[in-house]
């Protein structure tokens, strides 16, 4: 026998609906709690990351402001400082005056006329060649000049600095061809480091030089999403997400894309090295490419990409002076810390680091200088 009651049936029917309503309320509460936690966590994480400066860019850490790597101001073919000026360059780790010559280089004026027997060494490069982080007399080029004068007593050396902060091998080539060969160098040194690769990614190669004397860089929209660029500029928490979870780089692009672009830029630099070699050989000027490591590369004793450039140059019979083995051996032999060779925040060489860099180049140039002196002696006979 089956008994039923309208009230019992109504109660049984209502129970699932009440349970469903309670489940919805619990889900809603959990969502609100989660959103509330996120609203509290994200600002707290943002403040913490800013205070720790974990994902600060170089300009934020050293100059106190964000500067996009895509914010390029390149007015003319010649990438130099304003000529004939004296400015105070100051960062938290060092301060010194920068005095430029009539060409806009951090150097003295050099006479065009060349005395007999004088050996002229001209260095083309960026901020490491300009000597960022050191007083003028302690840049690697000036230290090298003094060391060569001591080693080769009786010989006269003139060191010509054609390095500019932020420059790259293509701007260097333009300066060399149009404004520097007039000084009749005996040796031209092209100084290359890791930053040059990304500079070429952002600026392009020879195609950057327009016929009207101006320069056109690569369109940033072809490389990076404007939305990602804005998020990266304004939020350190967004940088954490991009860099740690999606393997982006500080250029705001995935590492795989960065590596692809870097390979294309390396190929342009390789072709340019051959152009340097052909030009200087035609003028009977010795040519060497100087490769040096960034702080992170010396720590690992491994280049990110420059070993490819080194092997390419050697294959094409271009003289290469790789400073990394000498610098790394200095770390091992003398128990130096990296902070004694590179500024911890600025990451350029200290004056000690520039001295070791000059010593590495002095060793590498020994055969070239010996050949120049021997040829000069033959000419006197």
Return the SS3 of 287. strand
Helix extents (H) in 66-222:
127-130, 140-151, 169-175, 194-203
d(CA 95, CA 143): 19
Rounded Cα distance between 168 and 380, Å, is 39
Whether the CB-CB separation of 191 and 125 falls below 8 Å is answered with yes
Spell out the domain ranges in the chain: 6-52, 67-380
The H-assigned helical ranges of the chain are 6-52, 58-63, 127-130, 140-151, 169-175, 194-203, 226-234, 236-240, 255-282, 295-300, 306-315, 324-334, 338-341, 351-380
Cβ-in-10-Å burial (0-12, 13-18, 19+) of 150 comes to exposed
Looking at the DSSP assignment, which residues form a beta bridge with residue 322? 291
Instruction: List the structure tokens of 139.
Output: 């840049």
CA nearest to 163, candidates 119, 201, 195, 115: 195
What whole-number distance in Å separates Cα of residue 144 and Cα of residue 158? Answer: 10
CA distance 258 to 248: 9
Ordered per-residue pLDDT tens for the chain, 381 residues:
444 455 445 444 444 545 556 665 665 555 555 555 556 677 888 888 898 888 898 888 888 888 887 776 667 899 999 999 999 998 889 999 999 999 999 999 999 999 999 999 999 999 999 999 999 999 999 999 999 999 999 899 999 999 999 999 999 999 999 999 999 999 999 999 999 999 999 999 999 999 999 998 888 888 888 898 888 889 998 898 888 888 888 888 899 999 999 999 999 999 999 999 999 999 999 999 999 999 999 999 999 999 999 999 999 999 999 999 999 999 998 777 899 999 999 999 999 999 999 999 999 999 999 999 998 877 665
Query: Taking the model in full, what pTM does it have?
Result: 0.85
Q: Contact, 125 vs 162, CB < 8 A? A: yes
Question: Which string of DSSP letters, residue by residue, matches 12-73?
Answer: HHHHHHHHHHHHHHHHHHHHHHHHHHHHHHHHHHHHHHHHHTTT--HHHHHHSS---TT---
What does the alpha-carbon distance between residue 276 and residue 282 come to, in Å, rounded to a whole number? Answer: 10
Task: Dig out the tokens for 10 from the structure.
Answer: 């109504």
Alpha-carbon radius of gyration of the chain:
29
Tokens representing 178?
């149009």
50 CB-near residues (< 8 Å, 6+ apart): 236
Given this model, what pLDDT does residue 71 score? 75
Asked if the 67-380 domain carries CATH number 3.40.50.2300, the reply is no
pLDDT at 60: 86
Token pair of 61 as six digits = 């850490």
pLDDT score at 5: 52
The Cα 345–Cα 356 span in angstroms is 20
Please report the sign of the dihedral spanned by the C-alpha atoms of residue 257, residue 262, residue 263, residue 265.
Answer: positive
């Amino acid at each position: 026998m089956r008994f039923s009651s309208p009230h019992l049936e109504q109660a049984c029917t209502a129970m699932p609906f009440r349970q469903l309503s309670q489940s919805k309320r619990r889900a809603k509460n959990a969502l609100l709690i989660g959103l509330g936690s996120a609203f509290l966590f994200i600002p707290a994480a943002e403040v913490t990351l800013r205070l720790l400066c974990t994902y600060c860019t170089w300009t934020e850490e050293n100059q106190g402001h964000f500067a996009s790597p895509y914010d390029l101001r390149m007015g003319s073919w010649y990438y130099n400082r304003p000529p004939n000026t004296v400015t105070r360059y100051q960062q938290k780790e060092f301060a010194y005056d920068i005095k430029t010559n009539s060409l806009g280089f951090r150097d003295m004026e050099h006479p065009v006329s060349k005395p007999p027997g004088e050996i002229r060494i001209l260095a083309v490069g960026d901020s490491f060649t300009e000597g960022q982080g050191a007083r003028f007399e302690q840049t690697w080029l000036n230290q090298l000049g003094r060391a060569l004068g001591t080693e080769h007593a009786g010989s006269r050396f003139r060191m010509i600095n054609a390095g500019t902060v932020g420059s790259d091998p293509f701007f260097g080539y333009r300066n060399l061809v149009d404004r520097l060969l007039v000084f009749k160098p005996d040796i031209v040194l092209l100084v290359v480091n890791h930053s040059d690769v990304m500079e070429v990614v952002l600026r392009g190669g020879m195609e950057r030089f327009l016929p009207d004397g101006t320069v056109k860089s690569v369109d940033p929209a072809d490389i990076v999403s404007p939305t990602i660029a804005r998020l990266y500029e304004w939020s350190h928490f967004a940088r954490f997400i991009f860099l740690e979870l999606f393997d982006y780089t500080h250029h705001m692009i995935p590492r795989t894309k960065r590596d692809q672009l870097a390979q294309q830029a390396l190929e342009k630099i390789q072709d340019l090295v051959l152009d340097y070699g052909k030009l200087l050989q035609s003028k009977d000027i010795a040519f060497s490419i100087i490769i040096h490591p960034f702080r992170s590369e010396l720590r690992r004793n491994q280049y990110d990409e420059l070993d490819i450039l080194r092997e390419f140059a050697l294959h094409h019979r271009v003289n290469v002076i790789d400073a990394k083995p000498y610098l790394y051996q200095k770390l091992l032999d003398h128990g130096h810390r990296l902070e004694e060779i590179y500024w911890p925040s600025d990451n350029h060489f200290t004056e000690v680091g520039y001295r070791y860099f000059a010593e590495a180049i002095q060793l590498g140039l020994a055969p070239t200088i010996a050949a120049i002196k021997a040829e000069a002696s033959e000419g006197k006979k």
